[in-house]
Amino acid sequence: MKLLAMIPARSGSKGVKNKNIKSIGQYNLVQRAYRFIKENLPADEIIVSTDYSYNEFSNFLPKLQYRKRPFELSKDDSSIVEVCIDAVNFLYSKNKKFTDLLLVQPTSPFRESKDINLAISLYKGKNLKSLASVSKVIQHPYEVVNGIGNNWEPIISWHGHKNRQKLDSYYFINGCFYIVNLKEFLEKKTFVNKETFMFLTRKKYCIDIDDDEDFDLAKKLLE
């Protein structure tokens, strides 16, 4: 197994402007993700795919681990799958080859090395092709509705709360990390399919920074 760890960092966030390079304590989110991988995980290579200038990361990131993301992959609707494929092809053009990809998103900074290292061990031991981190749901699916006011419907058919099921079997893909076999990933162009192994992480390590409130909470917890 030859593992490539990738950190995607787009500049055009609408929820928090330039959130990936805003400092929380001593480090910004990209630097936190990079340091975490460097110090805790058995990655053979790290690549940061971004439309930010290299100058934003030159104090910690070697130039060889920087991929200037093409403009067409830096839009609001750009696919993270295509971003990863671009970074992999960029490294392949440098004659660097890998068997598997670990995606670590900087906007999910509450991660623990023992979680990801256990996930990597399971991935290798079970000869998996795809693994995604998940957390237990907070809201029960029976309590989630599509719509507002008088125009709504439940996402799962129900009769009031009479058939309310326990939360124990419900999880959500939290985006903290993914591991995929590169050959299959390049063929299927997806991180998750029916064969994906869902790896349970602890709920408090799955905060995804999407707006100012999330950022302020992360700042209080990390500083």
| Nearest residue to 28 (alpha-carbon basis) of 215, 178, 177, 217 | 215
Helices (H) and strands (E) in the chain, counts: 5, 11
Residue with tokens 């000869």: 127
Beta-strand (E) ranges in 44-91? 45-50, 66-68
Give yes or no for a contact between 6 and 102, defined as CB atoms under 8 angstroms apart. yes
Buried b (16+ CB within 10 A) or exposed e, 162-198: eeeeeeeeebeebbbbbbbbbeebbeeeebeeeebee
How far is CA 8 from each of CA 20, 87, 203, rounded to the nearest angstrom? 9, 10, 23
Residue with tokens 């995607």: 8
Q: What is the CA radius of gyration of the chain?
A: 19
Q: What is the residue-level pLDDT of the chain in tens, covering all 223 positions?
A: 999 999 999 887 766 778 888 878 788 889 999 999 999 999 999 999 999 999 999 999 999 999 999 999 988 888 999 999 999 999 999 999 999 999 999 888 888 899 999 999 999 999 999 999 998 887 777 788 899 999 998 887 776 655 555 556 888 898 889 999 999 999 999 999 999 999 999 766 567 777 777 777 777 777 6
Spatial distance between the Cα atoms of 208 and 120, rounded to a whole number of angstroms: 22
Residue 21 DSSP symbol: G
Tell me, what DSSP letter sits at residue 109?
-
Reduced to 3 states (helix: H, G, I; strand: E, B; else coil), residue 97 is: coil
66 three-class SS: strand
> Kind and range of the H or E element at 29?
helix 29-40
pLDDT at 24: 81
Q: State how far the Cα of 119 lies from the Cα of 199, in Å rounded to an integer.
A: 7
